[in-house]
Each structure stands twice: as C-alpha cells, then as structure tokens.
Amino acid sequence: MGPLAGVKIIEMAGVGPAPFAGMLLADMGAEVVRIDRKPTAEVDAFDAIAGGLLDRGRRSIALDLKKAEAVAAALDLVAGADALIEGFRPGVMERLGLGPQACLARNPRLVFGRITGWGQEGPLAATAGHDIDYIALTGALHAIGAKDAPAPPLNLIGDFGGGAMFLAFGVACALIEARGSGRGQVVDAAMTDGASLLMAMTYSLKARGRWRAERQANLLDGGAPFYGVYRCADGKWVAVGALEPQFFAALVDKLGLESGAFADRWNPRAWPAIRARLEAAFAERSRDEWSALFAGSDACVAPVLDVAEAPRHPHNLARRTFVDVGGAPQPAPAPRFSRTPAEISRPSAAPGAEGEAILHEIGFSDERIEALKRVGAL
C-alpha cells in the first residue's frame, strides 16, 4: 500500500525532525528500518521523550555503533537501501564511519538525507540549538505572538514544518532523480532554510511594503480584527478568518450587528474599534453556542479545540483525521491518495525488537548474528 511501496529506507534513530520524516515516509508505504542505539538506562530515558507515535510504521534494530562489527552491519543494511536519513550534528555520521562517502561507496544509488538546525555548513553549523533558536534567525519567531513578546509556536515551524517536511520532500525528489540517473546524492535539509521558505509569503508582503515589523499589526498576525481569536462567555475561544467581503458580511449577519459600522474595516486605524465590537459580541455566548450558530455558514468561524477535543469533532470523525492505534488516538497519514492509500502499517516498535530478523533478511547467517551479540554490537 502507499505510493512509496517498495522503497527501502534506513533511519538513524534521533529526536524531532528525523523521526517525524521517518514516520511520514513509512506512512506512505516505504519500508523503513530504524537503527536504534543499544538499549541503556540513558537510551530508555531518551526514547521516553523522543519515541511514541513518531516511531510508528518502522522496524527496529539496535546496534552499538562504537563497535566496528556494528558499523559493518549498518553498511550491509545501507547496501540494500534506497535512502538513509539522519539528524545528527555535522560530522557525527562521518566519525561513526557511516558518512556519505562511506555509504555511497557501498551503494552509489543511495539518497543520503540529512536534517540539522543550521545546515551542514556555515558559522553556526557545529553549534547546539533547538527549534526556537532556528526559527529565531528566520524572522518567523519575531512575527508570532502578542505585541509585547514573541511566542514559541510549539516546535511546528522549525522541527516539523521547516525540518522534517523538507527532509521527506528532498528525499522523495532525490529518489525520483536517482531512478533516471542511477546515482545517489546528499540531501542537506536545514531547519533555518525550511523555516525561511515557509515565510515566503511574509517576505513577499514585506517587499511590497505591506508588512510592518511589529506583531499584531498586520493582516494575518492577529492585527486585523477579522482574522484572530475571540474569548467567549465560558472562557473558551473561537477563531475568525473572515477576510473576503462576503465572508465578513456573513460574520456580521450571524453576530446580529449592523454592517454599516464596519465600512472602514480595511483601515488599520479602525481596527481597535472594530475589535472591541466583535469582542463584546462574542462574549455574549459560549464557544459551543457560537459553533452551533456558525455551523454550515461561510463566516469562517471555528471553535478553538484542545488536543483532547479535536479527535472528537464531527468533521474529523467523518474524515478519520485521527485514528486509533494501540488504544491511543493519533493523527492519520496525510495526504490522501485515490489509488495507493497511505496507512499506518504497524505501531511503534521497541528498540531492537526485530534486529535478528532484519539481519537474516539481508543474508546474515546465524553464526554472524551470534558473533555480533557476543561482542555486544547487536
């Protein structure tokens, strides 16, 4: 199943964007084998944070890559793969003996996908960082939040949107190219690059003089009163995105307000007064009352749901946007395909759960596997 059925990928276990990219590729039907670190108390603690739903759809082999025998086994896995993805700092894979040069020597068609925060080169390439640091350098963090301070937008923009998505996209592109050329290549995905590209529309607005360098002063950052959130009578919130004239007219009509009071709505100087009118209106009813009132309308109003509520929303239920795997609701694979549907092939695997079976499949004898176990490599 899935459009990537038949593609074989090796994933070096990590945290954040690399596991998410591995999940995306596995959801699309790729056979992904994750090389985990040999289980220890430290690794178990790491997996408790990094693992979970992001590890779905993959098989796992645990290798101690400090041992030459384990590195040799990893290269044997690479020899039969179409791609490898990793999320270590620059130079780590090379020091392990598993860098692009070594891997491409074993498999010239291999796509070697790398995801880092700063990229493989540049003044900051070797320094530590996290999502919030990477998006800080792109303009994205500065643009999000209240007037008086930026607000971390979870780790969606750097780790997942600007990182994992672009890694998966880059690997898919390189796989298509390799089918024609017969040659692999390195995909250098950096969260700073990806997050910057996600800001393309904002930079376009700035170039045309339509973006102010302050928060909640622009059309889509909460500045415009017809694109933002409003508190309801029960303390919960609704989201309003009534940009177009016909949508704003539907909003005003449903709220029972006079349309003439909003004739100057595109003038930023009128925004505070318009916002005050909308705040007063939304404060009169609960979130769910407003949700029922606006249901089926073109007013572009939606309830702001928390992560417990979202899987139960009727639209999400109808589309199976969330699915139950192992008793836990989780987001379903996306996007959707008419002929080769994506699916979650298996729940998350414990580190090393299928190591021996994986090695048997690529031709390892029982004797070689036992030798790896004796030296602690497997």
**Residue 210, domain member (yes or no):** no
Based on the domain organization, do 244 and 180 belong to the same domain? no
Based on the domain organization, do 190 and 307 belong to the same domain? no
The pLDDT tens digits of the residues spanning 216-252 come to 999 999 999 999 999 999 999 999 999 999 999 999 9
| Confidence category of residue 42, pLDDT binned at 50, 70, 90 | low
The full DSSP string for 39-74 is P-HHHHHHHHHH-GGGGTT-EEEEE-TTSHHHHHHH
Q: Which of 191, 139, 141 is CA-nearest to residue 165? A: 191
**Residue 282, domain member (yes or no):** yes
Based on the domain organization, do 102 and 153 belong to the same domain? yes
For residue 283, the model assigns a pLDDT of 98
**Which residues are tagged catalytic?**
130, 159
For residue 8, the model assigns a pLDDT of 98
Among 57-71, 108-122, 314-328, 361-375, whose mean pLDDT is lowest? 314-328
Q: Is the pTM of this model over 0.85?
A: yes
CATH of the domain at 299: 3.30.1540.10
Q: Which of 113, 67, 53 is CA-nearest to residue 88? A: 113
- Could you give phi then psi for residue 149, rounded to 5 degrees? -165, 140
Q: Which range of residues forms the domain containing residue 232? A: 227-314
Q: How many folded domains does the chain comprise?
A: 2
Report how far residue 183's alpha carbon sits from residue 7's, in angstroms, rounded to the nearest whole number.
15
**Residue 338, domain member (yes or no):** no
